Amino acid sequence: MKKISLELGSGGKSMRDFIARTIVPAFKNPMLAELLDASHLPGRIAFTTDSYVVDPIFFPGGDIGKLAVNGTVNDLVVSGAVPQYISLGLILEEGLEWNALEKILRSLKAAASRARVEIVAGDTKVVKQGQGDKIYINTSGIGKVIAKPRPKLIRPGDKLILTGTLGEHSLAILTARGDFGLEARVQSDCAPLTFLLPFWKNGVLWMRDITRGGLATILSELTEKIPYPLLIEEDEIPLSKAVQAASELLGIDPLYLACEGRAVLVVPGEKTHDVLARIKKNPLGRKAAIIGQVEGKIGRPGELLLRTSAGGLRLLEPLSSELLPRIC
């Protein structure tokens, strides 16, 4: 009997295939089939949903509550909508500590205030001990559409801006789990991307938040939407020392690490410096950088290219499977 394996939730290709071949066809719906971060409904309403099952529920720089609000807020922002209302579904495991729940509720409230959204609907369930991992949260979000991503207008010479350093959320989780005996000075990058909303009016053509699968996976998905290759420069990717160290120690590539408060934007060449300067003025965008561009001279459509620090040129694939540390 065929059973669901953990790999199907990993964020890699097998998950995307699973969603495309099993989940979406069950509903035969053109809006769903687009697989956007948020669906744009009639009446300029954007709607999205996400579930949070992170382990551990508390980690340096945040907790599952903060994640649950910001994740849904960010899906709305990158789809071109101002986040307004959130619904909150809580599934609590019998035995969850009261203090833990209170802390998470406070986090949810704080994150909602910061992102200027209101939690207007909700549901709470309690399941038997052993049937849920402390707490699972689902948030759905509604926003007002103010722009539409326009990948069809993307041209060679348009630049890629990354709003900050990669991988801190992943590393914060690893450290909190105590995996690999690592002690890193790191905080999750979990944050609302609402500060990017004004840039929809400044010519930004497309943006995505960098979640499961990392930057390489997100940009690979973009190459499927445009008829040009993308080129990124390894030397330009902002990385904190902690992520650099952990990547080398564990043999993982930061280009595949999930973040929860970073985005990549495609900006027309002539607007790039202005957009970058303004992003950098925001504390969440201080380490923003131009990391590459839409290519016109080298590569072929559908290719995501990396120019390595040694000067070589190679292809970057989307994440094919759960990121595993290597030892050899």
If residue 80 lies in a helix (H) or strand (E), which one and from where to where? none
Among 83, 143, 213, 229, binds other proteins (CB under 8 A): 229
256, 306 Cβ separation under 8 angstroms:
no
CA–CA distance, 22 with 278 (Å, rounded to integer) = 42
Q: Is 130 in the site for other proteins (CB under 8 A)?
A: no
Q: Is 20 in the site for other proteins (CB under 8 A)?
A: no
Whether the bond into 149 is cis, omega within 30 of 0: no
Between β-strands 263-267 and 206-209, what pairing exists: parallel, antiparallel or unpaired?
A: antiparallel
User: Whole-number minimum distance, CB 117 to other proteins, in Å?
Assistant: 35
Sole window of 45-53, 77-85, 93-101, 310-318 interacting with other proteins (rule: CB under 8 A): 310-318
Question: Between the CA of residue 272 and those of 105, 207, 286, what are the distances in Å?
Answer: 39, 14, 15
User: Of the ranges 54-62, 88-96, 151-159, 237-245, which one interacts with other proteins (CB under 8 A)?
Assistant: 237-245
Considering only residues 32, 105, 147, 250, which one is a binding residue for other proteins as defined by CB under 8 A?
250
The smaller minimum CB distance to other proteins, of residues 21 and 326, is found at: 326
**Counting Cβ atoms within 10 Å, is residue 95 exposed (0-12), middle (13-18) or buried (19+)?**
exposed
The interface with other proteins within residues 38-67 (CB under 8 A) comprises: none
Least distance CB 62 / other proteins (angstroms): 20
**Which residue among 9, 14, 96, 290 contacts other proteins (CB under 8 A)?**
14
Q: Work out how close the CB of 59 gets to other proteins at its nearest, in angstroms, rounded to a whole number.
A: 16
**Smaller CB separation from other proteins, 13 or 103:** 13
Radius of gyration of the chain (CA): 19
**C-beta neighbour count of 62 within 10 angstroms:** 25
Closer to other proteins by CB, 23 or 313: give it.
Answer: 313
Residue of the chain from 60, 89, 156, 299 that contacts other proteins (CB under 8 A):
299
| 298 sits near other proteins (criterion: CB under 8 A) | yes
Give residues 134-193 in contact with other proteins (rule: CB under 8 A).
179-185
Number of residues that bind other proteins (CB under 8 A): 46
Nearest CB to other proteins, comparing residues 18 and 47: 18
Nearer to other proteins, 30 or 181 (CB): 181
Among 47-55, 194-202, 271-279, 317-325, the segment contacting other proteins (CB under 8 A) = 317-325
| Amino acid at residue number 103 | K
Cα end-to-end distance, the chain, whole Å: 35
Q: Give residues with Cβ within 8 angstroms of 318, minimum separation 6.
A: 12, 13, 213, 216, 217, 220, 221
Maximum alpha-carbon separation in the chain: 60
> Nearest approach, Cβ of 315 to other proteins (angstroms)?
6
- Between the alpha carbon of residue 256 and those of residues 80, 100, 123, the distances in Å are 25, 31, 34
- Tell me the C-alpha distance between 125 and 209, whole Å: 30
Catalog residues that contact other proteins under the rule CB under 8 A.
3, 5-7, 12-14, 179-185, 229, 241-242, 244-246, 248-251, 298-300, 303, 305, 308-315, 317, 320-322, 324-328
